[in-house]
Amino acid sequence: MKFNQQYKQFQDQFAGMSPEMKEQMMKMAKEQAKIRITGFFKKWFALPVLTIVAVAMGAAIGALMAFFGQVLLAVGGLRDANPIYFIPALALAGAGIVLLYKKLGKGAERGMGLVFAVGQGKENNIPLRLIPLVAVTTWATHLFGGSAGREGVAVQIGATLGHNISKKLPFENAGHIMLVAGMAAGFSGLFQIPMASTAFALEVLIVGHMDLAALLPAAAAAFTACKVSNMLGLEKFSVDLNGLLSTDGGTTVTGLFLNNGALDINFVVKLALIGVLFGIIGGGFAKLLSLAKDFFAKKFPDPVKRIAIMGVSLSLLFLLLWQGRYSGLGTNLIDMSFVGANGFATDIASYDWLLKLVLTILTLAAGFQGGEVTPLFSIGASLGAVSAVMFGLPFPLAAALGYAAVFGSATNTLWAPILIGCEVFGFDCLPAFFVVCIAAYVCNGGQSIYNQKKLKLKF
C-alpha cells in the first residue's frame, strides 16, 4: 500500500513537468543506473579480472626472469673462469653504469627506492625504461666482479610491469595490487619459491602489515612465473636437508626436535639462540649498508668519481682475496656451506661470512647494481656453518637456518624467510625455521635494507 502511494505521487510529479525537465530527469536516471551497474561490475568482477591479468603477467615475468637469470649465470661463469681479465675493469664498468643512468635513467636510477615509493602511494610512476637499464647494469656489475645480488632486478622488473599494466585497468586500487603481484612474480620467477615470494611481496612494503587485498593476484602471478621460468630452463636451488643430516649424524630435523616423542626444549633453546645471532647480523647488515651509502655519498658527492674510486679499491680487494672468491652472488659459499666431514663445513673459513658482508656493502654503497638477497643467503649460510659447533647444531642445519634467517632479519620480514626455508630445504624443517626466524625477526633492531613504511600504532 505504501509503495503504491509513493508510485502515484511520483507519477503526479512527473506528469506536471515540462518536456525539457522530463528529458533531464531521464538522463539523470540513466546516469545513476550506469553508475550502479559499473559499481556492481567493479565490486564483483575486480578480483577475478585482476587475477586473470596477474596470471598472464606472471607468465611474461617468468620468461623475463628465465632469460635474465641464465644470462647472469653465464656472465658469472665467464668471470670465474677469467677473473684476472674482468675484475680489474670493475671501476670502468661502474663509471659506465652511472653515466648510462644519467643519460637514460630519468628517475629509473632510484630503483628499489622508486618501487617502494610507488607501492606506498608516495609517487605514481615507474618508467618502463627501468627494465632494460637494471638488467644490463646488473649483468655488468657481476661480469666485472662486484659482490651483489639479483633479487633487486627481479622485484623491479615485476613491479614495473605490474604498475604499467594496471594503468589499463578500470579498478580501484589496481595499481597497488598489480605492483605487489609483479613483485611476487619477479621474486618467484628468479628463485622459484612461489609461496615465499607471495609472502615477501605482501609483507615487505609496510612493516607488520600483510597486504591481503593483493593475496590472490600475487599468488597466481608467483606460481605462474615459477612454472614458466622452470619450463624455460632456469634451475632452482634446493637442498635435501634431511638427507644431509641422515648422512652426517643419522637423524632428521624432526628427530632433533623430539626426544622420546616429546618436544626437546634444549634443542628449541639452541635454535632460539642461533636465531638471535642471525637477527643481529642481518639487522647489522641493513644498518651498515645505510650508513655506508650515506658516508660515501658525502665523501664522494659525484657518483661517477665515487663508483670509479671505490671500484679500483674493490678490484684490488677481490683479486687479493683469492681472485674473486667474494665476487658475484656468493653461490660458491652457499654450496660449500653444505659440504663437509666430521661435523664441519671443511671448505668454509671462519671469516668468509664477514668478508662477504663487508664487500657486498662496499659494492652497493659505491653504486653498483644488483641486490642484496643472494649475498644475504651466502652470508647466512656461511655464518651458520661456522657457528654450528658453538650452538651444538649439525652444520648443514645451521647453514640452512642462517640462509633463511639472515635474509629475514635484513629485510625485516617474518613469513617470507620461514617459507623460503621450507621451499628450499623441505617442509619437514618448518618447526626449526619457525623458531629461528621468529628470534631473528625480534632481534634485528627493526632494520631493513628497504625503505619500508612503518605503521604508527596507538595504545
Is residue 37 a part of any domain in this protein? no
Lowest mean pLDDT among 25-34, 208-217, 294-303, 306-315: 25-34
For 406-421, the pLDDT digits (tens) are: 999 999 999 999 999 9
CA distance 446 to 413: 10
What does the alpha-carbon distance between residue 187 and residue 172 come to, in Å, rounded to a whole number?
A: 25
Matching residue, cell 670465474: 80
Residue that finishes a domain, picked among 180, 205, 231? 231
pLDDT value at residue 384: 98
CATH number at residue 112: 1.10.3080.10
Q: The pTM is what?
A: 0.91
User: With the C-alpha atoms ordered 235, 156, 278, 267, is the resulting torsion angle positive or negative?
Assistant: negative
Confidence of residue 459 (pLDDT cuts 50, 70, 90): very low
Residue 135 has a pLDDT of 96
Same domain, 351 and 246: yes
For residue 342, name the pLDDT band (cuts at 50, 70, 90): confident
For the chain, give the percent of residues with pLDDT over 70.
89
In a domain, 387, yes or no: yes
Residue 390 shares a structural domain with residue 280: yes
% the chain with pLDDT above 90: 78
As a whole number, mean pLDDT of residues 249-262 equals 83
Query: Does residue 182 sit in the same domain as residue 264?
Result: no
- One domain, residues 77 and 202: yes
Q: Domain boundary residue among 231, 253, 286? A: 231
- What number is the average pLDDT over the span 344-350? 95
Residue at 26 is within a domain: no
d(CA 418, CA 427): 10
Clarify whether residues 293 and 221 are in a common domain: no
Lowest mean pLDDT among 43-57, 393-407, 420-434, 443-457: 443-457
Chain center to CA of 62? 15
Phi, psi of 137 (to 5 degrees): -70, -30
Residue 288 lies in a domain: yes
pLDDT at 180: 97
- In contact, 334 and 251? CB cutoff 8 Å: no
Domain endpoint, select from 168, 200, 231:
231
Q: Is residue 408 part of a domain?
A: yes
Regarding whether 194 and 151 lie in a shared domain, the answer is: yes
What is the mean pLDDT of the segment spanning 77-92?
A: 96
Q: Looking at the structure, do residues 332 and 214 belong to the same domain, yes or no? A: no
Question: Would you say residue 130 lies in a domain?
Answer: yes
Residue 173 pLDDT > 80: yes
- Give domain status of residue 2, yes or no: no
Rounded to the nearest angstrom, the gap between the alpha carbon of residue 44 and the centroid of all alpha carbons in its chain is 31
What number is the average pLDDT over the span 433-446?
Answer: 97
Q: Count the residues in the chain.
A: 459
Average pLDDT over the chain reads 91
Residue 273 pLDDT > 90: yes
Q: Tell me: the pLDDT tens digits for 56-66?
A: 999 999 999 99
Q: In one letter, which amino acid is 316?
A: L
Judging by beta carbons within 10 Å of its beta carbon (0-12, 13-18, 19+), is residue 103 exposed, middle or buried? exposed
Considering the domain architecture, whether residues 271 and 178 belong to the same structural domain is answered as no
Q: Tell me the backbone φ, ψ of residue 426, rounded to 5 degrees.
A: 115, 140
Domain count, the chain: 2
373, 376, 378, 379: CA torsion to nearest 10? 170
Q: How confident is the model at residue 343 (pLDDT cuts 50, 70, 90)?
A: confident
Residues 221 and 204: their CA atoms lie apart, in Å, by 17
- Binned at pLDDT 50, 70 and 90, residue 232 comes out as very high
Q: Is a pLDDT exceeding 80 seen at residue 155?
A: yes
266 and 378 co-located in one domain: yes
Q: At what angle do helices 90-104 and 130-143 cross, to 10 degrees?
A: 170
Residues 114 and 148 in one domain: yes
92 vs 216: CA distance, rounded Å: 45
Res 250 pLDDT > 90: no
pLDDT tens-digit map of 19-54:
666 566 666 655 665 555 555 555 668 899 999 999
**Residue range of the domain that includes 277:** 241-454
Domain match, 222 and 284 both: no
* 432 domain-assigned: yes
Q: What is the end-to-end Cα distance of the chain in Å, rounded?
A: 53
For residues 256 and 338, membership in a common domain is answered with yes
Residue 94 amino acid letter? G
pLDDT of res. 45: 81
CA distance 50 to 44: 11
